[in-house]
Structures are given as structure tokens and as C-alpha cells.
Amino acid sequence: MSFSNLKNVMESLMDDEKYADMTISCQGHDFKCHRAIICSQSPFFEAALADGFKETSLSRVDLPCDDVDTIARVLSFCYLQDYSQPDNSANLALEEIFRIHLAVYLAADKFSMIPLRELASSRIVDWAKSNWSLRCFPDTVQDIWCDTPPHENKLRDAMAEIVSSNIQHFVSQGNGKKVFSENPDFSIAVIEKLSLDNKRLKEENKNLVERSDLDI
């Protein structure tokens, strides 16, 4: 079976409730889905439907505090290994696009779905590389530092790298200075990046001087 055919099959399963054998309820919306697909990719849902839990007999998981659109994206990833991104026609503010990806990232962490978390992280980083000059950018960094788990450093390191490369603009925009003062670990991460950049520049300059001396 080709990848395109497999994708069509998975899309059909996702859209058709005929063979669904579990329900995920969120904010009054019921998602009918398949245990083999969902539980095999999420230890959270696997545990929720394990023997001994009240959800087991009903094959139902209630998520009263989660966002419906975010859960829809999580489930889409389970079936298609991807989730929808807003396009230009959606007329969403750039900051809102960031928040969509951050919400998916946090949900993926909650549900222990590492591949989805990595996908959302890469989309956050791509967004940041294109939008670091926005006045709202310091606020997005603040959200990442406040909301993401401290044990997951990959996203934080990437954001510190972007800020260090644009440090003067960052401190002059919006709440840039405030983000530094309220997050000492963020400040340290950026300083470490700046120190490494400075060391690399010194080594490059030294090599240039040495090559120039050889040419004389």
C-alpha cells in the first residue's frame, strides 16, 4: 500500500465513527476514535483506559479543562502524523498562530506524545525565526519559559539561541527587559549563547590573522 493510500485510509478512519471504540469528551464535544490508534501513541490515554479505572468500562476519557481545537489537532496527529496549521486566509494574528503551536506542544507533553511534541516544537522555532522582530515576541518567550516543563530544554535552548542572535532588538521591544529580569534561567541561557558566539568569533579572527601572516 502506498503512503498516499494509507493516508486516505487513516483519514477515512478518523472521519468515520463506524469502527470507533472509544470516546474522548472535551468541553461538551465527543470525539469518537480508535483505542488501537490513540492508546498505542499516548501512555496517558492507555493508562486512562487500563483495567481498574472507571473509564475502562465506558471506554471514555473526559478532558474538561482542555481546548477542543487543540484536542482535535492532537487526534489528527494520531491518525495522520500531522496536524493542521492556520493559513493566511484564516486572518489570524501572528501571535495567535504561535499560541496554537504552543497549545499543541503542551498537550503533547501532557499526553506523553513525544513525536507530536517535537513537531510542535519545530513549528514554534520556525515561527520564532521568522517573527523575532515582532513587538509581541518577548511575550511569547515569557510564555514558553512559564508554561513549558523545565526538564524539556530543546525548545528553550532554541529560543535562547534566537534571542541571543537578536539581543539588541529583543531588549528594545515590548517586555524584553522584563523577560530577562523575571526569568534568571533564561538570562543565563542567553548569556551562555552570547559567550559561545563571542568565543567562536575570536577563534575565527585568530585564524584569519594567522592565514594573513602566512600570505605575507
Give the residue carrying C-alpha cell 493516508.
Answer: 7
Q: Distance between CA 12 and CA 110 in Å, rounded? A: 27
Q: Distance between CA 66 and CA 49 in Å, rounded? A: 18
The H or E element that residue 37 is part of is helix 35-38
DSSP 8-state class, residue 81 = S
Half-sphere exposure of 56 (CA within 13 A, CB side): 7
Average pLDDT over residues 105-115: 98
3-class DSSP state for residue 94?
helix
Q: Distance between CA 69 and CA 147 in Å, rounded? A: 19
Distances (CA, A) of 42 to 22, 150, 159, 209, 212: 14, 21, 27, 55, 58
Q: Distance between CA 135 and CA 121 in Å, rounded? A: 21
Give the residue carrying C-alpha cell 535562547.
Answer: 160
Q: Domain 1-81 maps to which CATH number in 3.30.710.10, 3.40.50.620, 3.40.50.1970, 3.30.930.10?
A: 3.30.710.10
Q: Distance between CA 162 and CA 125 in Å, rounded? A: 9
Average pLDDT over residues 50-76: 86
User: What is the structure's pLDDT at 206?
Assistant: 65
User: What is the structure's pLDDT at 200?
Assistant: 77
CB distance 159 to 101 below 8 Å: no
Q: What is the pLDDT of residues 12-41, one digit of tens each?
A: 889 888 889 999 999 999 999 999 999 999
Distances (CA, A) of 138 to 163, 174, 177, 211: 9, 7, 9, 41
Half-sphere exposure of 22 (CA within 13 A, CB side): 21
* Residue with more model confidence, 215 or 141: 141
